[in-house]
Amino acid sequence: MALLACLVEVLKRERMPYVAFRHPPAYTALEQAAVSHIRGRCAAKVVICIADDQPLQAIVPAHYRVDLERLRQIAGAGTLRLANEDEIAALYPEFEVGAAPPFGTLYGHRVFVEQCFVGEPEMVFNAGRHTESVCMHYGDFAELVKPTVGAFGVRPGRPRGAAAAPAGIA
């Protein structure tokens, strides 16, 4: 549990309230939400990308996917692609691949967060292992990480750029 202890140290040093917990193995953000009994929109999926040869983290709710073209525009990058597993392992050797927490700024990496997280009462994310997570208020996360907020997430079943349905229409 040394890795979780490292994250806890950062959160305590910055006086950020949080709850750390263990859960059965979960290898996707949706699985993490299910085993942790939280709403999928509060489970943060950390997507590692390479923008103009520089790593960045894109944070979206568990059930969203990242619109890479929109993220590329927001990041002001000429090129943007998903990082492969070998690159992720090299960037974050102390984390299990696929379980990096959204604290890329601690590594000098830019962090982008989907705007729908703003105002959420809680945000749950991996703590470096597929069996350990942290829950904290989005506002505290934003204060610590200072991410760039933007609209680059796509909900399932909704094409990119689709407008929301009027109130009362599903």
Domain annotation covers residue 166: no
Domain annotation covers residue 56: yes
User: Taking residues 99-123, what's their average pLDDT?
Assistant: 94
Domain annotation covers residue 75: yes
Mean pLDDT is lowest, of 42-46, 129-133, 136-140, 160-164, for 160-164
For residue 114, the enclosing domain spans: 16-154
118 or 163, higher pLDDT: 118
Distance between first and last Cα of the chain: 44
Mean pLDDT is lowest, of 51-55, 112-116, 119-123, for 119-123
9 has a pLDDT exceeding 80: yes
Q: What is the pLDDT of residue 48?
A: 98
Domain annotation covers residue 51: yes
User: Taking residues 23-51, what's their average pLDDT?
Assistant: 90
Closest CA to 111 of 143, 60, 145, 134: 145
Domain annotation covers residue 163: no
Q: Give the DSSP letter string of 71-128.
A: HHHHHT-S-EEEPPHHHHHHH-TTS-TT---S-GGGGT-EEEEEGGGTT-S-EEEE-S
Domain annotation covers residue 3: no
Q: What is the pLDDT of residue 24?
A: 93
Question: Under 8 Å CB-to-CB from 15, ≥6 apart: which residues?
Answer: none
Q: What is the pLDDT of residue 166?
A: 34
Domain annotation covers residue 5: no
Q: What is the pLDDT of residue 86?
A: 97
Count of domains forming the chain: 1
Domain annotation covers residue 93: yes
42 has a pLDDT exceeding 70: yes
168 has a pLDDT exceeding 60: no
Phi, psi of 106 (to 5 degrees): -65, -20
Residues 47, 153 contacting (CB under 8 angstroms): no
Q: Which CATH number do you get for residue 24? A: 3.90.960.10
Give the model's confidence band at 162: pLDDT under 50 very low, under 70 low, under 90 confident, else very high: very low
Phi, psi of 44 (to 5 degrees): -90, 125
Closest CA to 90 of 50, 31, 136: 50
User: Taking residues 161-167, what's their average pLDDT?
Assistant: 40
